[in-house]
Structure 1
Amino acid sequence: MQYARLPKDTELLDSLPPMSPNPIPLSPDTRQRLADAGKALNQRNPDLAERLLRRVLAEAPTLVDAQVLYGIACLMRGDSGKAAEFLRMAVQRRPHDATIQMSLGSALHDSGAEKEALIHLRRACELAPGQVSAWYNLGKALKQQQRLDDASSALLRALSLDEHHVLARISLADIRTMQGEIAQAVAEYRKVLRQQPHQAEAWHALANLKTELLSPQDMQQISEAMRDPAIHPDTRIALGFSLFRALEDQHDYAGAFEALRDANANQRRLVTWDPDVERARVEAIMDAFHPSLPAPLDPTQGQEVILIVSLPRSGSTLVEHILASHTQVEGANEIPDLPQVIEDESRRRGQAFPHWVTSATAQDWSRLGKDYLARTARWREKHPRFTDKGLLNWQLVGAALAMLPGAKIINCHRDPVETCFACYRQLFRRGMHFSYDLDEMADHYRDYQRLSNYWQARYPDQILDFPYEALLQEPELQIRHLLAFCQLPFEPACLAPHLTKREVLSTASAAQVRQPIRNDTAHSAPYLDLLQSLRNRLAR
C-alpha cells in the first residue's frame, strides 16, 4: 500500500546535524558538494542531494557528515532500508549525536524495525531533552505503533518545549480522536487553525471527524487557503476534501460536489490504480480456491479469531466496536498480520498469491495459521477472542479459513451507491486508490461483491452476511444475531457500544462510533442526480 501524498511529517530538515571538523582532508570541490547537498535537503530535493553525496562518498566513504546526509536523502525518497544502512554507520562513529540517533530511529521505524527504532528515538531524547523534533518523532512513532498513552506523553513534552509546534499538536489531536475525547480533539485542531488558518492537515482532520459542523467562516478560510497560487498539490487535495465538507454543512450540495470532484480528480492523478489488474486478481483467487482444499489438521485452529471483511465505509468499525464491547473480545482495529503472512509465504515460495494455493498442503496451511496466531498473540492477553478488520481481508477469506478453520468471518456490506459515494467522500491516508474515480469505484465494488458472493456460497456456515442497513433498522435483533454467530453470550453493553471506552484507530470513524446507533447515516440523497452515472454503472 502507498500513503496518500499528504505533506511528510517526519522532522529531519529543521535539525540537520551541524558539520563537524573533518579529520579527512577534502578537496574544495568535495566540500562544496557536501554543502550543496545540505542545501538541497533543506529545499526538499533529495534526488539532487543523493547525486552530490555519491561523489562525496566516493572520495571519503567514512565521512560521517556525508553518511548522515545520504541517509536522510534516502529516507526522504522512501528508501528507509538504505537510509538505515548509512545512518547505522554514522551512529557507530558518532553515538552521542542526538540528531543522528533520531534519524536512524525514523529510518528503522519506516522499515518496520519498530522495537529497534524506539531504542534510538528514546536515546535521541536522552541526549537532547530540549530538542523538540526528538520528542515529536518519538511521539509519532509511538502513535503509529498504537501506544497512544506513551505517544501522548512524548507529544506533550514536545509542546511544552514549543507550544506552537503544529505537527505535534495535530498528532495529539488525532490521539484524542482515537481515544474518544472528541471535544478535546476539536479544541486542539482549532488551536492549530488559530495559529495557522491555512493549515491543510488540521482542516482535513477537523472535517474528517464528520460530527463537527464547519461554519461559513471555516468555508471562507479554506477557500482563501486554496487561492494561494504556490500551494502544493497534496495540500490542495486535503483542502479540497475539507472544502467539500464545509460546503455540504452549508447545504450547498452542487458546490460541494464540484469541490469533491476536483479534489478526487487531483488525487487520482497522483496515485496508480489498474482496474484490469485488480479484476484479474479476483478471477485468479476464485480459480485458485475452486478445487477442494486439503482437510485441516485441526478444525478448531483459529477459534479465537473474528475476521471482519468489507470495503471501507461499510460499517465495519461499528461492528467491531459492538463486538469489542463484549467482555470476551478485544478489538484489534485494522491490523496487517493476515496479508503479511500471505506475502511472506509468497516470497518464500517465489510465487505470488494466489498462484501457490493449489500446491499448499494441510501442513502448510496449519503452519501459516500458527504464524498468524503468534503474530496476533498480544490481542489475546486480556480477552480470549479478538477482531481483525484489515481492509484487504475480503480478498483473503479462502486463505484465512484454510489457515484458521475455526475462525468466524463477518462480511459487512452496505448499499452499493452509499458505499461508493462514502469512499469517494474520503481522502484515505493509505491505499484505496480505487476510490478517487466513481467509475473505478463502481467496478471495484462489483469485484468485491462477486468475490463475496463466491465466498458466501463456498463457506455458508463460517461467514455471516451482515448488511449495515439491517443493523441500523433493527439494532438489537441484528446484534443478538451477530453475537450468536460468534458463539458469544449476549451482553447488554453490546447494545450501547457508544458507551464503550476503547481506542478506535480509524480516525474517519472514531467520532461516529461514539454516538448512539442511528439510522440516518445515508449521504447520497442530495446528490442522486449527480450520481446517476454511478448508479447506472452499478446496476449494469
Structure 2
Amino acid sequence: MQAALQAIRRGDAGEVLRLTGEVLDLVPEHPEALRLAGIAHAAAGRHDLARDALQRSHDRNPDDALVLIDLGNAQQRCGEQDAARASWRKAAQLAPGHPMPPWNLGRSLQLEGRTDEAIDLLSQAAELAPDFMPARILLGDALVHAGRFDDADTHYRQALWHNPACGDAWRGLANIRTRPLSEEDREQLALNHGRADIGEPDRVAMGYALGKVCEDHGRHAEALAALQSANARLRLEAPWDAGGFSARVDAIIAATARLPAPRDPSLGHEAIFIVGMPRSGSTLFEQVLAAHPQVEGASELPDLEYVLQAESARRGHPFPGWVSQADADDWQRLGQDYLQRTARWRERRPRFTDKMPENWLYAGVLRAMLPGATVIETRRDRLETAWSCYKQHFYRLPHFSCDFDHIAAFMRDCERAMEIFRERDPGRVHLQSYEALQRDAEAAIRVLLDACGLPFDAACLRFQDARRSVRTASAAQVRQPLRADTGRTAGYGPLLDPLRAALAAIGPG
C-alpha cells in the first residue's frame, strides 16, 4: 500500500493498479486499495471502472470523506450528476473543514448556470483554503457571470498577490471588458509574461490578456505580437484540421437533406437556439430575449451535442453517419430527451434560449428532432468577428481561432451551411444582423421577437437591466447600454491586411 501511494504521487497509474491488485488478491474488499485503484482508473480515463471501485470502497468505509470526494468526481464523469452531488454533500458533512466538497459542488452548479448557489459554495472553498487558486479563480468567474465585477476584481487580484504569473487571474481581469486594465497592470503583465519559469498554460493565458490590454492602450503592434505568440503556442498544442472540418460540414449538409416528417410538428416550441460564429453578438441577442418575461436565458448549453453524441455511441457510428437510418420515432425520442435534459430552464418561464454557437452544426436536424424550435443565426461584420475570435482564448481544443486562414475557412463553412438550412426551413431558421441592432435597436428587436413568435415587450429595449447569469466572455458588455462604436480593427490599419486577405478569399458574405 505504501508503494501504491508513492506510485499515485508519481502519476504511474499502471503501477498503482498492479500493486493494489496484489493487495486485493489477498484482501478482496480492502477499502484503501479500492480507493487507490479507483484513482488510478480515473487517471487513465476509465471512469466507469473508477466509479465501481470507489463505490465498493465507500460501501466498506462509508464515513471516509476522501472516498466520497473521489467517488463524486467519478460519478460526474460518468454523467451521474445527481449522484455526484449527493456524494460531495455527504463528504461536506463528514469533513466540514475540507475545501474540496464545496469546490466540486460549486464548480458543478456553476457549469449549470446556478451561479448564486455556486458563489456561496466557492466562497466556502476559498475561505477554507486561501491558497487554493482554482477556487478563487472560479469564484471570480462566477462573480463576473453574476455581474458583480468589483468582487470579481478583488478575487482575481488576490490570486495575483499569491502568484503574479497566474494566467487565469490575468485572463479573468482582461475579460471584464468594460474595465480596461491600467498602465501599471500592463507593465506587470508584460513582465510576468516574459518570465522563463512559468508553465505553458499560464504563458498562453497571459499572452491573450496582454494582447487585450495593449489594444486598450492603443499599442496595436504589441497587441498583435502578443496574440500571434499566444495563438501559435495554442496551435502547436492542438492543430486544427480545416480540410477535415470542411469535409464534415459537407457530410452534415448531405445527410440532413432528406429527413422524415416529424410526428409532432410543435415539439420543441419552448426552445430558441442562438447559433453562428462565436463573437458575433450572440450573447447580446440572448440578453435581449432574456429580458422578455416569457424567456429564460440559459446561456451555452451542451445538451444538444450530448444527446446526439449519446445516439452516436448507441448506434456505433459518429454523427452524421447514422442520420439517414433514423426514422420519425427516433427523432422524436431524441427531441424529447433534449427537452427533458433542459427542463430546469423552463421552471420559471415557458421558453428558453440555448446559446451554444457551435450548434449551427446540428441545426440541419432540428426540423426533424425539434421541429417547433426557433433557430436564430447571428452575424456581425466579418472582419470584426474574425479579429474578436483571434483575440479570444478558447479552451476547447483544437480550435479554429488560432490562424487567420482557419478562421476564414470556418466562417465560410458556417455561413454556407446556415444558408442551406435556412432554405430548407425558412419558417424556423432566421438571420439576425448585429449591425442592424446597432442602427435601429427597436426595429431589430421587433424583428427578433417576431421570429421567435413572441409579443413585443418594452423590457427588451432595456436588456442591460436583465438580471441573470451570463456565462460567456461578453458577460460585462451585455450589461451595458448598446454602443455603436464596438469595432476594434480600424486602429490596426495595415497590420490586419493578412486577415482581410483571408476573408476576401472566401468570397462575399
TM-score under structure 2 length normalisation: 0.93
Matched, 1:416 2:379: no
How far apart are 1:431 and its partner, in Å?
A: 4.3
1:321 aligned partner = 287
Amino acid corresponding to residue 137 of structure 1 in structure 2: N
Q: Is the 8 A contact 2:8 2:16 kept in 1?
A: no
1:430 aligns with one of 383, 387, 396: 396
- Deviation string 1:273-310 (CA, Å, 9 cap, x unpaired) is 3212211111111212334x332222222222211111
Matched, 1:495 2:461: yes
1:509 aligns with one of 474, 477, 490: 474
1:362 aligned partner = 328
Amino acid corresponding to residue 475 of structure 2 in structure 1: A
Amino acid corresponding to residue 445 of structure 1 in structure 2: M
Q: Determine the C-alpha separation between the residues in 2 that align with 1:224 and 1:93.
A: 53
Q: Determine the C-alpha separation between the residues in 2 that align with 1:246 and 1:286.
A: 40
Q: Determine the C-alpha separation between the residues in 1 that align with 2:140 and 2:9.
A: 33
Q: Determine the C-alpha separation between the residues in 2 that align with 1:145 and 1:72.
A: 25
How far apart are 1:265 and its partner, in Å?
A: 0.6
1:207 aligns with one of 174, 191, 214: 174
State the SS of the aligned residue for 1:510.
coil
Q: Is the 8 A contact 2:360 2:414 kept in 1?
A: yes
Question: 1:14-29, aligned counterparts within 5 Å?
Answer: none
* Runs of 4+ that moved beyond 6 A: none
How far apart are 1:73 and its partner, in Å?
A: 3.8
2:502 aligned partner = 537
Q: Determine the C-alpha separation between the residues in 2 that align with 1:163 and 1:393.
A: 38
Q: Is the 8 A contact 1:317 1:513 kept in 2?
A: yes
Matched, 1:54 2:21: no
Q: Is the 8 A contact 1:169 1:192 kept in 2?
A: yes
2:160 aligns with one of 185, 193, 211: 193
- Deviation string 1:52-107 (CA, Å, 9 cap, x unpaired) is 21320231124443433343344345543343233223222222111121121122
- The 1:208/1:111 distance shift into structure 2, 3 A limit, reads farther
Unaligned runs of 5+ in 1: 1-30, 41-45
State the SS of the aligned residue for 1:308.
strand
1:522 aligned partner = 487
What is the RMSD of the two structures over their aligned residues, measured on CA atoms? Answer: 1.9
- The 1:209/1:78 distance shift into structure 2, 3 A limit, reads farther
- The 1:60/1:499 distance shift into structure 2, 3 A limit, reads same
Question: 1:76-91, aligned counterparts within 5 Å?
Answer: 76-91=43-58
State the SS of the aligned residue for 1:504.
coil
Amino acid corresponding to residue 533 of structure 1 in structure 2: P
Q: Determine the C-alpha separation between the residues in 1 that align with 2:429 and 2:5.
A: 61
1:98 aligns with one of 65, 80, 93: 65
Amino acid corresponding to residue 377 of structure 2 in structure 1: N
Percent of paired sites with the same residue:
43
How far apart are 1:457 and its partner, in Å?
A: 1.9
1:266 aligned partner = 233
- Deviation string 1:373-427 (CA, Å, 9 cap, x unpaired) is 2222222221111111223311111211111222211111112221111111011
- Deviation string 1:157-204 (CA, Å, 9 cap, x unpaired) is 223334444332222221111111122212222232233322221111
Instruction: Single out whichever of 514-523 and 80-89 deviates more from structure 2.
Output: 80-89
Q: Determine the C-alpha separation between the residues in 2 that align with 1:39 and 1:305.
A: 47
State the SS of the aligned residue for 1:342.
helix
- Matched pairs, number: 501
How far apart are 1:35 and its partner, in Å?
A: 4.3
- The 1:481/1:129 distance shift into structure 2, 3 A limit, reads same
1:9 aligned partner = none
Amino acid corresponding to residue 347 of structure 2 in structure 1: E
Unaligned runs of 5+ in 2: none
Matched, 1:116 2:83: yes
Q: Determine the C-alpha separation between the residues in 2 that align with 1:395 and 1:517.
A: 29
TM-score under structure 1 length normalisation: 0.88
2:254 aligned partner = 287
Q: Determine the C-alpha separation between the residues in 1 that align with 2:483 and 2:398.
A: 27
1:251 aligned partner = 218
Amino acid corresponding to residue 219 of structure 2 in structure 1: D
Q: Determine the C-alpha separation between the residues in 2 that align with 1:317 and 1:277.
A: 29
Amino acid corresponding to residue 56 of structure 1 in structure 2: L
State the SS of the aligned residue for 1:453.
helix
Q: Determine the C-alpha separation between the residues in 2 that align with 1:203 and 1:437.
A: 23
Matched, 1:339 2:339: no
